[in-house]
Structure 1
Amino acid sequence: MGNINSKKNYAVVVGGTNIDILGIPKKGLIYHDSNIGNVKTSLGGVGRNIAENLSRLSVDTHLVSIIGDDSYGDLIIESSKEIGLNLDNSLVLEGENTSIYLSILDGEGDMEVALSSMDMFEKMDIGFIKSKKKLIEESKVCIIDTNVPKDTIEYILKNFKGTDFFLDTVSTEKAKKVKDLIGLFHTVKPNKIEAEILTGIEIKTDDDLKKAIEYFHSKGVKNVFISLSKDGVIFSDGKNIDRLKVKDPSIINATGAGDAFIAALSYGHMRGLDIREKARLGVGASLLALSHENTINPNMSVKNIDKKLEEVELC
């Protein structure tokens, strides 16, 4: 579909950047014991992952983040140059180590447990973000992840105008910080547990899901996507509620599926696609992410998303 280069037709991602250390057991995970397996190190961070996926989808993407001035930080900078991801508006902190995210998978490739060391993102304060006003306001879409301090997120949403804000909730704990700001987002993509936290509605049935979606819309959210894990995704634009599910998806590594999904949603939004087409792109991007051992599938592209969707049964 070509590059996106026209004025305002670029994306900004405000969020976390770190190094992912991934533990992959060769068999089922045995607790309280040393497990035989493989350990992989890769570039990560929800914001950076979304930004890389967008870059691989040929979107002009600017990442606003913080990295350390260590060897990991150098690696992030060099990799970004290779894929065309713009880091000019990110901050390199002298004397600081780049944040690390450590995750352990189970025997089926799903995340079992994870630890994150991301205190440095508290330095993404209001003073820092004020200088990004023009960049953000002139973007077509701005994706914010909840690694960013709540005060900074609130400042962006209430003071920067002219763009559509997308939310990546990151985790159940970090989702709490945007509960009172949820109506200021154009698009949200929580999983079911995060949706419960954001709405205060316990979700056990399809009716509960619809109530949660109606809550988001009543607050001002235009597009809602709720991830249901193996049961697919339910989505709504305030007029129609629909869902997509993939029959028997193949999972090698589930770590980056959500990041790929919201990147594809953003791409679809920039292209003016309807909500079902956005959801379809998101599902296809997730499938590509799931099918590769790396957090980011290096083969991510619109062409490969379409090809992947042709290989699976959507229902």
Structure 2
Amino acid sequence: MTNREREVLKLIESNPMISQEEIASILEITRSSVAVHISNLMKKGVIMGKGYVLSKEESYICVVGGSNIDIQGYPKDSLIPGDSNPGSVKTSLGGVGRNIAENLTRLGVKTKFLSVVGDDENGKRILTHAKSIDLHMENTLVVKGESTSTYLCVLDEKRDMNVAISYMDILKNMDIDYIKKNDYIVKNSKYCIVDANLPEILEYLVTTYDVPFILDTVSASKAKKIKDLVGYFHTIKPNKMEAEVLSGIAIKNESDLKKAGQYFVDKGVKNVFITLGADGVYYKTPKIEGIVVPPTMEMVGATGAGDAFVAGLTYGLFNDKNIEDEIRFAIGASILAISSEETINPNITSSLVEKTIEKLNFKNNKIIL
């Protein structure tokens, strides 16, 4: 499909009864050109008959979030605060939403990503990479004169984050008008993932569209801004600290964990996943709850594990796995992430995740009755 055909299709998807004259006016091309593009779309089976009836598209996941360039540094020896540490620095593509979207694409799930980049080399790099892996970013907002978001972090000798600075001013351009122009992508998705970096449009999304939304809370500070919206989400994945902020419940023991889980379910959340670090993942639905504890694994890099986990959970939901298998798959995806020096393991596939799970010992799972 050509870029112009995509533009025509986008207008038809938002209004199947739109006239050729209206399309021509919006795109500033001739009506005869519109007729040719529509004829080509019909030949390709994308639209059918009068009123431009759309052919049924395969199911997909929509992700709404940020796209960054990540700069990561880590020392050769123990990190010494306030000093210059010999070590290594690498630059890669990042952003919570973008990382989740790429992981899903590599897992074989069709994914459409709504995001924003600047008209700089970093923005071009992100869009070019998306095309190379078949991640759909055709509707990305490209802002002239602004720099693409940048995330700078310093890891310690254990590859855990010590400190980070995020420059994400460009995200303010992802406003409600942008969502409205692309709302057909949200409306037609099987699930829509949003990260808490976008509180201004997050409320609009979850209160406007009847789609199962999945929340990645990102951080405790971000969770605080959206705690009143938690009941609108189908699935949430906070860590313990973020769960405390969202629920207002201090989680000091298993009883507190169950209270927090019940709080979210009472609010209307269908699937609650609270990550507990080495202690596993607590899950809660209106019918069941439990804790899945993975084996201890050697970590090569900590960044990207949470994004891979969310992608794994979404893969499980998308493919109708039961909740325990869904968590195991998500854990398998995160293990592949931490076993790679890259933020996103370039070798991750659904079959590799399944093979990874087969080698894991989940015998110590504790089921809460």
TM-score range, shorter chain: over 0.9
> Would you say 1:16 and 2:66 are equivalent positions?
yes
Give the 5 Å matches for 1:222-261.
Answer: 222-261=270-309
> Is the Cα contact below 8 Å between 1:8 and 1:140 reproduced in 2?
no
Give the 5 Å matches for 1:135-214.
Answer: 135-148=185-198, 150-161=199-210, 163-214=211-262
| Structure 1 residue identity aligned to 2:191 | V
> Would you say 1:75 and 2:75 are equivalent positions?
no
Q: Deviations over 1:35-91 (max 9, x none)?
A: 111001000000000000000011111110100111111110111011100111210
Give the 5 Å matches for 1:45-124.
Answer: 45-124=95-174
SS at 1:213's partner residue? helix
| Structure 2 residue identity aligned to 1:273 | K
Q: Deviations over 1:68-115 (max 9, x none)?
A: 111111110111011100111210111111110011111111111111
Cα deviation for residue 125 of structure 1 reads 1.0
> Is the Cα contact below 8 Å between 1:186 and 1:223 reproduced in 2?
yes
Give the unaligned 5+ runs of structure 1.
Answer: 1-5
Question: Quick one: distance in 1 between partners of 2:84 and 2:262?
Answer: 47
Task: Give the percent of matched residue pairs that are identical in Structure 1 and Structure 2.
Answer: 50
- Equivalence for 1:294: 342
Question: Quick one: distance in 2 between partners of 1:87 and 1:181?
Answer: 27
Return the TM-score normalized by structure 2. Answer: 0.82
Cα deviation for residue 311 of structure 1 reads 2.7
| Structure 2 residue identity aligned to 1:226 | I
Aligned length in residues: 308
Larger radius of gyration: 2
| Stretch deviating more after TM superposition (52-61 or 109-118) | 109-118
SS at 1:295's partner residue? coil
| Structure 1 residue identity aligned to 2:358 | E
> Would you say 1:269 and 2:269 are equivalent positions?
no
Question: Quick one: distance in 2 between partners of 1:36 and 1:95?
Answer: 35
SS at 2:163's partner residue? strand
Larger RCO (CA within 8 A; separation ≥ 6): 1
Give the unaligned 5+ runs of structure 2.
Answer: 1-55, 365-369
| Structure 1 residue identity aligned to 2:204 | Y
Question: Quick one: distance in 2 between partners of 1:313 and 1:27?
Answer: 32
Question: Quick one: distance in 2 between partners of 1:46 and 1:136?
Answer: 18
Question: Quick one: distance in 1 between partners of 2:231 and 2:295?
Answer: 33
Cα deviation for residue 229 of structure 1 reads 1.0
| Structure 2 residue identity aligned to 1:90 | T
| Structure 2 residue identity aligned to 1:112 | N
Cα deviation for residue 312 of structure 1 reads 2.6
> Is the Cα contact below 8 Å between 1:187 and 1:221 reproduced in 2?
yes
Cα deviation for residue 122 of structure 1 reads 1.3
Return the TM-score normalized by structure 1. Answer: 0.95
> Is the Cα contact below 8 Å between 1:265 and 1:281 reproduced in 2?
yes
> Would you say 1:132 and 2:194 are equivalent positions?
no
Q: Deviations over 1:159-197 (max 9, x none)?
A: 111x21000011111111210000000000000000000
